[in-house]
Each structure stands twice: as C-alpha cells, then as structure tokens.
Amino acid sequence: MAKNTPTSSWRHVLLLGYLALIAGCSLEIVPGWEILELGWSTARFYMILAASGLLVGGLMTERYWLPGLIAGPVIGMGGLTAVAWHLGLVPATNSVFVFILALVGTIPGWAIYTALRLVQMHVTSPATGETGVASQSLRAAR
C-alpha cells in the first residue's frame, strides 16, 4: 500500500483535476449541456484532453512515465467519448451515473497502461536500470 506522502498528495490532486477536465469537456461537447458555451469544435476538446493526458500520464508515475505518456491521452479521450455519447442520447441524467460512465470509458486507457507497464517491467531491471532480458544473457555468456 502506498504511503500518503506530499508527493502522492499532489498526484491525487492532479488526477482529480484531470477527471474534472474530462467532465467539463464532455459537458461542453454536447449541445444543450454546455456550462460555458465556448462554441469550440469537438476536435479542440479532444486535443485539450490529449495534451493534458500527456502531462498527467507522464507525471502520475515515477518509474513508468513512458506508459503513462502513451496511455494518458487514451484515458482522457475514452472518458470523454463515453460521457459525450451518453449525454447525446438522454435529455436528463444522474451525475453519479455520468461519473461511473466516465470511469468505464477510461478502461481501455488503463488496460494500455497496464500492458505497457508490464512490458517495461519485463525489459528493465528495477534494481540497476539495465535491460532485464539482454543483461541476463550477457551475464550468462561471461
């Protein structure tokens, strides 16, 4: 279990901010649900989430920043797509259901992150940073 350190606290705030950005963008994307009524194109909201996903994904983990960079945008855009799809179908909804649907929409991104993290764990040795498979074969050859 992770310790509750100041480092982990700012990561929690960063993640909550990213989830709030997903919610805000999904409300702005669907006609009739806008809060700010920015009038931006759908592509702009996806670009905002992709860019912020790169930032959040890279900063959320210490050792696995590369899988985070790759999966972060997918996580955000998956949540946005799921919520925007739902809001486009219904005239009224429950905010708890929207939150749950946003979390469900992030599952493909989390799956990508987990798979890439496992690949990185297999390739690199956690103690020395050497490549696991290649360095083991080199040590065996010596």
Would 19 be classed as within a structural domain?
yes
Q: How many CB atoms lie within 10 A of CB 109?
A: 21
What total of structural domains would you count in the chain? 1
Would 17 be classed as within a structural domain?
yes
Would 21 be classed as within a structural domain?
yes
Would 121 be classed as within a structural domain?
yes
Residue 78 sits at the vertex; the CA angle it makes with 73 and 82, to the nearest 5 degrees, is 155
Closest CA to 67 of 123, 8, 23, 11: 123
Range of the domain at 114: 6-141
Q: Where does the pLDDT of residue 4 fall: very low under 50, low under 70, confident under 90, or very high at 90 and above?
A: low
Task: Note the pLDDT tens digit of each residue in 20-66.
Answer: 898 888 888 888 888 888 889 989 999 999 999 999 988 888 788 99
More confident residue, 136 or 57: 57
Does residue 93 register a pLDDT over 70? yes
Does residue 3 register a pLDDT over 70? no
Would 1 be classed as within a structural domain?
no
